[in-house]
């Protein structure tokens, strides 16, 4: 399943940001449980990396326990989050190389200047593509499906013909040119 967006409540987004600030200067990490694109819970996972200032490695036992808890509540893993304590909210080369859940949103929290900024990414086949992250208490409108190439071409052709029609119409509405006086 290709995720198009991730919907978090303000409370869940705040929990993620707060986790990052509390674990600063180490990278914080955790899991996001939910249904489809809607996040319903956030679970902190201990970072057991040898270099927690620059990397994260989730504790396997906590990861497994959290996945069982999600299942008990009727949730599935829809997101994995981690922080960049001194960096931006963009996935690093390591993040892209080590991503193992292609159907999951990867939330990266940049903590540059201790100001949390969140972004969401779908990482698959070595490519990171941004997905919309919606932070709202109310359910967002349904996402529009992406347009096919044929639909994009049809829209471009329609725009070109519309533009030509407007030019022809504007020219036809111009008053006739005044006669040129002859001597």
For the chain, the structural domain boundaries read 5-135, 147-173
The mean pLDDT value for 151-159 works out to 91
Contact 135, 16 (CB under 8 A): no
Domain 5-135 has CATH 3.40.50.300: no
pLDDT confidence of 144, banded at 50, 70, 90? Answer: low
Residue spans of beta strands (DSSP E) within 64-116: 76-84, 105-110
Per-residue pLDDT tens over the stretch 9-50? 999 999 999 999 999 999 999 999 999 999 999 999 999 999
Query: What is each CA distance from 19 to 13, 54, 142, in whole angstroms?
Result: 10, 16, 30
pLDDT confidence of 110, banded at 50, 70, 90? Answer: very high
Q: What are the structure tokens assigned to 44, written together?
A: 């902190």
pTM to 2 decimal places = 0.76
Report angle CA 97, 75, 108 to the nearest 5 degrees: 35
Of residues 63 and 113, more confidence is placed in 63
């Amino acid at each position: 399943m290709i995720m198009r967006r991730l919907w978090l409540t303000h409370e869940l987004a705040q929990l993620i940001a707060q986790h990052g600030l509390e674990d600063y200067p180490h990278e914080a990490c955790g899991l996001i449980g939910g249904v489809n694109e809607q996040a319903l819970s956030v679970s902190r996972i201990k970072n057991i990396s040898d270099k927690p200032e620059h990397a994260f490695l989730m504790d396997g036992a906590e990861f497994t326990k959290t996945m069982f808890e999600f299942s008990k509540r009727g949730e599935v893993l829809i997101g994995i989050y981690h922080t960049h304590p001194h960096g931006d909210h963009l996935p690093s080369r390591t993040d892209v190389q080590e991503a193992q859940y292609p159907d999951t949103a990867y939330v990266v929290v940049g903590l540059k200047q201790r100001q949390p900024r969140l972004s969401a990414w779908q990482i698959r086949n070595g490519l990171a593509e941004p997905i919309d992250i919606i932070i709202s208490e109310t359910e967002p409108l349904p996402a529009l499906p992406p347009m096919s190439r044929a639909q994009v071409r049809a829209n471009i052709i329609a725009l070109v013909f519309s533009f030509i029609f407007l030019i022809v119409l504007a020219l036809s509405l111009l008053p006739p040119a005044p006669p040129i006086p002859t001597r």
